[in-house]
Amino acid sequence: MRLKIVGLLKRYFKYILLGACLLAVLILELAHHAYVSKLSPQQFVGRWDSKEPFAQVSCFFPEDAGMTGETIMGVERGLAQAMQEASIDTSGADGRTLVDAYSVEETLYVSSLRDGTEVRAFGVSKDFFLFHPLELLDGTYFTREDEASDGIILDENVAWQLFGSSHVAGLPVTIGDATYMVRGVVRADEGHFSEAAKESIPTVYVDFDTMEKLMAVEDEMGGSSYAVDCYEILIKNPVSDFGTTTLKNVMETCGITDYEMVENSTRFEVTARWNRLKNFGARSMNAQGIIYPYWENRARAYEDVSTLLLVLELLLLCYPAVMLGRGILLVWRKRKAIKEFLKNKISGFFFGIMAPNAKKLYKDVYKSRKTKKNKVE
């Protein structure tokens, strides 16, 4: 029995190896898609309830790029005008012209009656949590319906250090000379590359205008001149690259040229992974002085992993490709015999269908002739 099994394995080894290679490729692709689905800041397109195609784009700026809250308002107006000129309906799934968010990263000292700590602080626009759906443990997010957003959102690390609990919505904290109420508490964002991306650093979120006041930044006219680190937008994309091209043109019109743009909606597709493979060394170089936020660092780390997975998949597909090539070559060499074989099979198939009818027709004709002959006699 054992010898029989060994013999079967030897006989069908190449087919077993072929199946194993294809199965391994399938498992790697499923693992890739499973992990990508956990990168929630890069998956807003999938969460946005619309039947129309959208592109999710992120832009990252060095400190001296000149991208401010007022500049973003100009970009929004320019995008709406560009889409109208292209005869594109500018309403979103909920009637909005577009969905965008911007943020800046700073360091603040936050204290309560119990304790105080230095934290990483993000000044964010009111749609930030649409792109970053952090899990709420208590309270609420900032929303665009808020007339004023002068509160603060803590992650659970900060909440436990300041209050010894994660259920602290409504309690006061102090930043500088000002007191702010805790709007909500979120679960600390974590991932496979959390330590390298510094995701576990105690973090708070405040409204962008609040951050601007805390940093005492305004221009001579009293307007906004506080630099933005990251701008994220969901834009209609009726044809490939329409969204990114339109955004680039509008940014240039607004005088913004120093930035890095990433289209999240396509960054983990096979073509993007292949392009990263071709530029594997150069893509890690950054000469623009841009500091990425932790969610982008995590996504970029997984870009490298997904590229290596692509290399493994291509290696695993080498044997199936060789088998396919041998099969095509064998068919070409024996094309005449295969043609004759198929011809005989097809002829036999149709003959099998027609023969019973032909036999019945012959019997009917023979019987009819015999009947006529008998009548004549």
> How many Cβ atoms sit within 10 Å of the Cβ of residue 316?
18
Above 60 in pLDDT, residue 366?
no
Per-residue tokens: 95:
């009637």
Residue 110 has a pLDDT of: 94
* Angle between the N-to-C axes of helices 318-333 and 13-36, in degrees from 0 to 180, rounded to the nearest 10: 130
Per-residue tokens: 74:
């100009």
Residue 113 neighbours by CB under 8 Å, 6+ apart? none
Over the chain, what is the mean pLDDT? 81
Residue 346 has a pLDDT of: 76
Model pLDDT for residues 258-280, shown as the tens digit of each residue: 899 999 988 888 888 888 887 76
Residue 327 has a pLDDT of: 85
Strand partners, 58: 232, 262
Percentage of the chain surpassing pLDDT 90?
Answer: 31
Q: Report the alpha-carbon distance of residue 65 to residue 62 in Å, rounded.
A: 5
pLDDT band at residue 1, thresholds of 50, 70 and 90? low
Report, as an integer, the average pLDDT of 289-314. Answer: 88
SS3 52: coil
Residue 363 has a pLDDT of: 55
Strand partners, 178: 175
Residue 69 has a pLDDT of: 84
The closest of 199, 121, 108, 115 to 161, measured between CA atoms, is 115
Residue 353 has a pLDDT of: 61
Q: Are the C-beta atoms of residues 200 and 171 closer than 8 Å to each other?
A: no
pLDDT band at residue 90, thresholds of 50, 70 and 90? low
pLDDT band at residue 219, thresholds of 50, 70 and 90? very low
Residue 120 has a pLDDT of: 93
Least reliable range by pLDDT among 82-86, 183-187, 262-266, 321-325: 82-86
Residue 95 neighbours by CB under 8 Å, 6+ apart? none
Residue 156 has a pLDDT of: 93
CA 109, 112, 113, 118 torsion: positive or negative?
negative
């002959």: which residue's tokens?
373
Q: Are the C-beta atoms of residues 111 and 173 closer than 8 Å to each other?
A: yes
């602080």: which residue's tokens?
121
Q: Are the C-beta atoms of residues 104 and 227 closer than 8 Å to each other?
A: yes
Residue 93 has a pLDDT of: 46
Per-residue tokens: 169:
């919505």
Least reliable range by pLDDT among 21-25, 127-131, 183-187, 213-217: 213-217
Least reliable range by pLDDT among 97-101, 313-317, 329-333, 359-363: 359-363
């000129």: which residue's tokens?
85
How far is C-alpha 99 from the geometric centre of its chain's CA atoms?
17
Q: Are the C-beta atoms of residues 41 and 273 closer than 8 Å to each other?
A: no
Q: Report the alpha-carbon distance of residue 305 to residue 368 in Å, rounded.
A: 81
* CA distance readout (Å), 25 to 64, 148, 312: 45, 51, 8
SS3 97: coil
SS3 357: helix
pLDDT band at residue 221, thresholds of 50, 70 and 90? very low
Report, as an integer, the average pLDDT of 216-229. Answer: 62
Write out 281-332 in H/E/C secondary structure: CHHHCCCCCCCCCHHHHHHHHHHHHHHHHHHHHHHHCHHHHHHHHHHHHHHH
Q: Report the alpha-carbon distance of residue 132 to residue 37 in Å, rounded.
A: 13
SS3 187: coil
Strand partners, 111: 116, 174
Above 70 in pLDDT, residue 356?
no
Model pLDDT for residues 51-76, shown as the tens digit of each residue: 778 889 999 998 788 788 888 989 98
Residue 230 has a pLDDT of: 94
| Backbone phi and psi for residue 174, each to the nearest 5 degrees, phi listed first | -115, 135
E strands, the chain, are: 54-60, 99-111, 116-124, 136-139, 152-155, 172-175, 178-186, 203-207, 230-236, 260-263
Q: Report the alpha-carbon distance of residue 213 to residue 175 in Å, rounded.
A: 11
Q: Report the alpha-carbon distance of residue 159 to residue 315 in Å, rounded.
A: 48
Above 70 in pLDDT, residue 118?
yes
Residue 61 has a pLDDT of: 92
Looking at per-residue pLDDT, the higher value among 377 and 135 belongs to 135
Above 90 in pLDDT, residue 28?
yes
Q: Are the C-beta atoms of residues 246 and 82 closer than 8 Å to each other?
A: yes
Q: Report the alpha-carbon distance of residue 101 to residue 230 in Å, rounded.
A: 8
Looking at per-residue pLDDT, the higher value among 1 and 144 belongs to 144
Above 70 in pLDDT, residue 372?
no
Looking at per-residue pLDDT, the higher value among 282 and 58 belongs to 58
Above 90 in pLDDT, residue 11?
no
